[in-house]
Structure 1
Amino acid sequence: MDASAHIDDLAAFVTASPSSYHAAAEVARRLSAAGYKTLEETADWSEVVRPGARLTIVRDGSVIALALPAAAGRGTPFRVLGAHTDSPGFKLKPKPSTVTAGWWQAGVEVYGGPIVSSWFDRELEFAGRVVHRDGSAHLVRTGPFARIPHLAIHLDRAVNESFAPDKQRELQPVWGVGGPENADIVAHLGDLAGISGADVAGYDVITVDANAPARFGADRKLFASGRLDNLSSVHAGVAALLAAEPVDAIAVLAAFDHEEVGSESRSGAAGPFLADVLERISAALGGDRSDLARAIAGSWCLSSDAGHAVHPNRSERHDPVNRPQPGAGPLLKINANQRYMTDALGAALWSRTCAAADVPYQEFVSNNTVPCGSTIGPITAARIGIPTLDVGVPLLSMHSARELCHVDDPAYLSAAIRVFLSAQA
């Protein structure tokens, strides 16, 4: 396992993936370079889906990729690595361009649950897609472009005692100066996409931290980046899929959009995307509904989403016994209230998987007074009926504009996913 090479490639992947749409495109690009064929959902797959095929399907900001073993047929089970492509931040509103006291500003809406204070006084990039009035979509990114400014301490002496910004008034980034005549951010995004502002009929554009990922600290063992929740899992899944050698199961990478806002969309885990793809693959291999049911019953889903390392300054917020450490391997995430899907059978599978990959792992459970979040795991299990367990890389500063992990842990996770997708445990 070359953790250094893996983290460098993760940095390149994050840099190429400022939005969910860019992330899905980057996954498809990497897989296409490795020989995967990109399928259109409107096409007939019957002549393409065959044993040994390597396939990718993109839906908006989501992507599903499959590696079929040479012996794939009716009832062949699936090994699914589930992750998500989106991260918390701010989304550009309709009629976003305003001018206040000579500052050009952009109207934004909070997306998901960001640590709002972490987004102030840093260079931000706008990224996503703009759609021409003819319906064609164009990826767009600005590079360092905007900033949400703090109020000077001289004007708010209590800022270090209590900071609770008004989410409507105080979160609008500045992106230029001058009069109102040229303060049109939509036109600027259209120019970057090669279309006139008048022809931009819609857009899905978010803010992201414009600073590059970085290694630092003693022995350069620390890695800071935006969007580690959850591009660390998407990247680990891509690397694992490319290295996997599936024999007895169809290896699947399913990276969904909209997890941070509940997954209830056509491209979210609560939507029909994965179910539709698995059904079409099974049918193309000659299976009927009974064969698909048998395949699902013999399948597993590994829901991979970032988790929490013990915070050194606030360790009382963690369970007093189960205390994940940096560099000690990926987390096996457990919750009695089914916020994570890991049960005893899943725990045993993960133990075998990590042993086969020669990877350490550690268990995570929340402090009883600090309810945990959730993942696509429960949604996928309920939506598809597939046995599921939850894992992920331990982070500090989750949902900050810039998160932190140990250099070794993403590579450990990818090594374990490779074994899982190959059904070697």
Structure 2
Amino acid sequence: MTGNTFNNQDLIQFLQDSPTPFHAVLSMSQRMQAAGFVELNENEDWSLQPGGKYFVVRSGTAIAAFIHGVESSVDHGIRVVGAHTDSPCLKVKPMPSKLSNGYQQLSIEVYGGVLLAPWFDRDLSLAGRVVYRDTSGALKSALINFKRAIGSVPSLAIHLDRAANEGRKINPHVEMDVVLGQSAQKLDFKLLLQEQMQLEGYDNIAEILDFNLSFYDVQPPAVLGLNNEFLASARLDNLLSCYIGINSLIQADTTYTSVVICNDHEEVGSRSEVGAQGPMLKDVLSRINPDPQANQKAIRRSLMLSVDNAHGIHPNYASKHDENHGPIINAGPVIKFDACQGYATNSDSAAFVRWLATKGEPIALQSFVMRADMRCGSTIGPITATELGIQTVDIGLATFGMHSVRELGGVKDGEQLNNLLMRFMSTETLKL
């Protein structure tokens, strides 16, 4: 290992710079380049060198970075870390402009399993990618980020809904259009986007053709708690894991082959060219070992850590947890289990991680399994294991408020997971 550093302030900056998967992948790409990783193009031949450091981006929202180890990956396997770049949010519809009682609004659609209530009364901004035709007729794209608050989803006053605190159901189509301003005219949304693009340095815009834009809360990440023990931020699920995966790879040595892949679309089922059910990881591994038999042998000697957040035991809702499997924030990484394969962990892969945690200074590990009368969520772990035939363990950090507009984690846990991933990337043994 070349070093062992983890910095919560740098994590906070990454979270702040990454309001959408497009921005997260750009930020990770810049970090990889600054650390000496070479960007590859999937449309070209790759000439990989032992000890080389590389990364590839697909469609702007998924990234795979890897070290092509000096030692043969066919003989020593591949250390794979997986995470995802997307988070539940409110996305702008293709024809979003509305005018209601003199208020300009944008209609939204819900992306992923959003916890809707916390999105009300937030200071919202807008970011994402815009595709346009320039004045020469060329097709181009631009990343934009308004950064400032431009809208809100106001709550209905309790005087107009006395049952608001009695379990009222939220209808996102009716109740969650974003209010942007007041006018007698419907907003020309494409003109607004063009003006923002020009503010961000894009010129020669002839026509905006399409866009992929998400609202986000402008409140920055923060360390809080009486003893500064908590980290509050949007998109901890799962940019926290993306950051730690990339940070670990940057610090890893070049002895063994290690891959970090951050897919998109995990929150909606992973079924896309950039999702875990798509071929991206398979494509990258086949480039590392072009011979099919060698590639298959390498995969069967490999292990994947699917890194995604875990549900910390909530002090106000402790009954929602199994009493023996309630992870505590700041008490170490959490191995996640599910007998129905909602998580891909098995006894062998879990035992390996427990063994790894004892190699050197001990790393505390926790276990999570849902109550027997509840079902767990999903991760990229089982999907990748199914697609590749790679042994996998699901692991992550305990958080509160998963899928809220603002989630809560611990300031100590990131370093522990970072240490574990670095140890994983440097170990010669991947099987017990």
TM-score bracket relative to the smaller structure = over 0.9
Moved over 3 A (4+): 71-76, 195-198
User: In structure 1, what is the Cα distance between the partners aligned to 2:401 and 2:84?
Assistant: 18
1:81 alignment counterpart: 81
User: In structure 2, what is the Cα distance between the partners aligned to 1:421 and 1:120?
Assistant: 42
The Cα shift of 1:123 comes to: 0.8
1:384 corresponds to 2:392: no
The Cα shift of 1:187 comes to: 2.4
User: In structure 2, what is the Cα distance between the partners aligned to 1:309 and 1:178?
Assistant: 45
1:371 alignment counterpart: 375
User: In structure 2, what is the Cα distance between the partners aligned to 1:175 and 1:2?
Assistant: 45
Deviations 1:338-375 (A, max 9, x none): 11111111111111222226321100111112210010
* Partner SS for 2:358: helix
The Cα shift of 1:274 comes to: 0.7
2:357 alignment counterpart: 354
2:261 alignment counterpart: 254
User: In structure 1, what is the Cα distance between the partners aligned to 2:90 and 2:210?
Assistant: 17
The Cα shift of 1:76 comes to: 5.3
TM-score, with length taken from structure 2: 0.93
Q: Letter of the 2:173 partner, please give it.
A: Q
1:186 corresponds to 2:190: yes
2:4/2:419 contact within 8 Å kept: no
Match of 1:220 among 224, 228, 246: 228
Deviations 1:365-394 (A, max 9, x none): 111122100100000000111111100010
User: In structure 1, what is the Cα distance between the partners aligned to 2:175 and 2:121?
Assistant: 12
TM-score, with length taken from structure 1: 0.94
* Partner SS for 1:24: helix
2:92 alignment counterpart: 92
User: In structure 2, what is the Cα distance between the partners aligned to 1:152 and 1:407?
Assistant: 36
Q: Letter of the 2:305 partner, please give it.
A: L
The Cα shift of 1:2 comes to: 8.6
1:231 alignment counterpart: 239
The Cα shift of 1:407 comes to: 0.9
The Cα shift of 1:424 comes to: 5.2
1:13 alignment counterpart: 14
* Partner SS for 1:229: helix
1:104 alignment counterpart: 104
1:330/1:409 contact within 8 Å kept: yes
1:117 alignment counterpart: 117
User: In structure 1, what is the Cα distance between the partners aligned to 2:350 and 2:13?
Assistant: 32
2:121/2:155 contact within 8 Å kept: yes
Deviations 1:87-129 (A, max 9, x none): 0011110111111112111111000011100100011121111
2:287 alignment counterpart: 280
* Partner SS for 2:319: helix
User: In structure 1, what is the Cα distance between the partners aligned to 2:346 and 2:219?
Assistant: 39
Q: Letter of the 1:361 partner, please give it.
A: L
The Cα shift of 1:162 comes to: 2.5
Q: Letter of the 2:115 partner, please give it.
A: I
User: In structure 2, what is the Cα distance between the partners aligned to 1:297 and 1:73?
Assistant: 11
Q: Give ranges in structure 2 of 5+ residues lacking alignment.
A: none
1:353/1:424 contact within 8 Å kept: no
1:68 alignment counterpart: 68
Give the 3 Å change call, closer, same or farther, for CA 15–320 of structure 1 in structure 2. Answer: same
User: In structure 1, what is the Cα distance between the partners aligned to 2:346 and 2:194?
Assistant: 49
Within 5 Å, give how 1:165-180 maps onto structure 2.
Answer: 165-180=170-185
2:74/2:297 contact within 8 Å kept: no
1:30 alignment counterpart: 31
2:126 alignment counterpart: 126
1:151 alignment counterpart: 156
Identity %: 38
User: In structure 2, what is the Cα distance between the partners aligned to 1:117 and 1:244?
Assistant: 41
User: In structure 2, what is the Cα distance between the partners aligned to 1:162 and 1:374?
Assistant: 26
Q: CA RMSD in A?
A: 1.7
The Cα shift of 1:156 comes to: 1.2
